Amino acid sequence: MTIDVDLYLSKTVSTAPAELQPILEKIRKLHSKKLWHQLTLATFEFLDHPLSPPFQVDFFENFVREFEAKLNALKLVDIGVRTSKQLSDPNAILEFLSSLRSRIDQTADPAAYILALASLAHAKLAFGDLVGTKTDIDECLKLLDNLEGAERIVSAAVYGVAADYYKAKADYAPYYKNSLLYLACVDPDTQMEPQERLERAHDLAVSALLGDTIYNFGELLMHPILEALEGSPFSWIKDLLFTFNEGNIGKFESLSPRLPQEPILAANAAFLRQKICLMALIEAVFSRSADERTMSFQTIAEETRLPQEEVEHLVMKALSLNLIKGTLDQVDQKAQITWVQPRVLSRAQIGSLADRLERWSQSLSNVEQFAHSQTGEVPVA
């Protein structure tokens, strides 16, 4: 059915709130002049207006659809996705987004297609279709890998729905990875509400602590998103995260009474105990110079506060996770460590490293002075 755009806009202008009328009148004039780029900008201005939500779906179906072929495909999908948020019926949302995706040429406009598919995946996730969500996410990631110079809005949509999917599955490591990738594509200060920043920081911290392959928190510790936890009921979780990074068992034990405040951490207390022991082992190795990294089981037991009979299992666990490299001497009850996984250092750790460098520099200076005293000055020919 052909839409009489002028009639529709004239009617909409006359019935819309006074605050929207100037924008709609501008849109009408731009459409009559076929100024598509300016019309796109004015459409986003309309969508951004706080009084526009009740009119957005009707505006899209009766106006935007009439000239959508003239629009940049990525802008069209962005407009459509924002409009879909005004729908409340799950079937209507899925139908709206499926229709939008079907009108995008994947070959001609791959970025727009990915954005539409990622948005459809998010809708499926919201309504409990985990299988359909995963299928769409996998396709999005494959297409994104082959897309050069993807715009942030596209990457953010893909990594955002992937993170939410793994959160729903309580799969901590992939949630952690995709959530950090999502944050790399957005500006948390301007694109996230305070409550959303707090929830993201909380979920990232919990996933870092509970992820069974996450032992390097560097990227998260340096990210400003953690500032959202300060002054909140979850500020102690930030302290716990830094405690793990330092491998400080004493601080961990002082914070342990607060674990019941976060049931999911309390339920995994045994795992957290093992993880802090592994982090303490890493710290014990790191704090020693290369010629002091042959450690007895007794020393490791003291550093990790474990019974000596559990040390061998701990070291083997660290070796299997590639946190350290080295060998075990079960006869002499010793571990020779040759490498430790690099990680972000706290101020105290940086200070310790600086002291070691200073001692190393002094040692070199002493060797140089000794060599000079033994050989005397070398005559110059």
Give me the tens of pLDDT residue by residue for the chain, a chain 381 residues long.
556 788 888 888 888 999 999 999 999 999 999 999 999 999 999 999 999 999 999 999 999 999 999 999 999 999 999 999 999 999 999 999 999 999 999 999 999 999 999 999 999 999 999 999 999 999 999 999 999 999 999 999 999 999 999 999 999 999 999 999 999 999 999 999 999 999 999 999 999 999 999 999 889 999 999 999 999 999 999 999 999 999 999 999 999 999 999 999 999 999 999 999 999 999 999 888 888 899 999 999 999 999 999 999 999 999 999 999 999 999 999 999 999 988 766 566 566 666 767 776 777 777 777 777 776 555 554
pLDDT of residue 353: 64
pLDDT of residue 5: 82
Question: Residue length, the chain?
Answer: 381
Nearest to 242 by CA among 220, 213, 265: 220
Nearest to 39 by CA among 61, 23, 52: 23
Direct distance between the N- and C-terminal alpha carbons of the chain, in angstroms, rounded to an integer: 101
CA 368, 370, 373, 375 torsion-angle sign:
negative
The Cα–Cα gap between 159 and 121 comes to 11
pLDDT of residue 366: 76
Nearest to 337 by CA among 296, 378, 375, 277: 296
With both helix axes pointing from N to C terminus, report the angle between 110-126 and 130-145 in degrees, rounded to the nearest 10: 160
pLDDT of residue 376: 58
pTM (predicted TM-score): 0.87
Q: From edge to edge, which strands make up the β-sheet containing 334-340?
A: 294-296, 334-340, 324-329
Contact call for residues 270 and 313 (beta carbons, < 8 A): no
Cα angle 322-325-326, degrees, rounded to a multiple of 5: 145
Helices (H) and strands (E) in the chain, counts: 21, 3
Residues 6+ apart with CB under 8 A from 230: 238
Task: List b or e across 261-294, with b for residues whose CB sees 16 or more CB atoms inside 10 angstroms.
Answer: ebeebeebeeebebbbbbbbbbbbbbebeeeebb
* Phi and psi at residue 305, to the nearest 5°: 60, 40
